[in-house]
């Protein structure tokens, strides 16, 4: 369950220590590709390799897999990691934790609906 304990923090449940800053959430969701990445990740169990994410998004994004993998590795996944929504391991090229996607789910759903 998502609760807000201040205008600037979002937590999955009160007191669980999983705070995500609201500005970071909106920054993470500001990019269409990052929203699509989160949509893919919310249904996967970690670890999720970059190659798997690229394969899932290839047809939607229109890039070839290698270009998409590079963009995910260097830009999108580190940005999502910095926001606190996921944990990305650059050494293994895998998303190792995506449990906090639940905390931003209402915002993600709204953004995805508005894209249609």
- Contact call for residues 23 and 8 (beta carbons, < 8 A): yes
63: CATH: 1.10.10.10
* pTM score, whole prediction: 0.81
Place of tokens 């609201």: 22
Q: Encode the chain (116 residues) as per-residue pLDDT tens digits.
A: 444 444 455 554 334 445 678 888 889 899 999 999 999 999 889 999 999 999 999 988 888 999 999 999 999 999 999 999 999 999 999 999 998 999 899 999 999 999 87
- Contact call for residues 93 and 47 (beta carbons, < 8 A): no
60-83: b (≥16 Cβ within 10 Å) or e: ebebeeeebbebbbeebbebbbeb
The whole-angstrom distance between residue 8's C-alpha and the CA centroid of its chain comes to 19
Domain count, the chain: 1
Give the residues across from 21 on adjacent strands.
9
Instruction: Give the strand order in the sheet containing 94-97.
Output: 48-49, 94-97, 87-89
Owning domain of residue 36: 3-115
């Amino acid at each position: 369950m998502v609760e807000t304990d201040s205008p600037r923090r979002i937590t999955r449940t009160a007191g669980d220590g999983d705070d995500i800053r609201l500005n970071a959430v909106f920054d993470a969701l500001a990019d269409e590709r990052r929203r699509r990445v989160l949509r893919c990740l919310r249904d996967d169990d970690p670890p999720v390799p970059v190659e798997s994410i690229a394969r899932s998004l290839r047809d939607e994004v229109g890039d070839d897999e290698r270009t998409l993998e590079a963009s995910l590795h260097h830009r999108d996944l580190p940005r999502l990691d910095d926001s606190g929504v996921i944990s990305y391991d650059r050494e293994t090229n895998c998303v190792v934790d995506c449990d906090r996607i639940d905390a931003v789910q209402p915002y993600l759903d709204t953004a995805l609906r508005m894209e249609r």
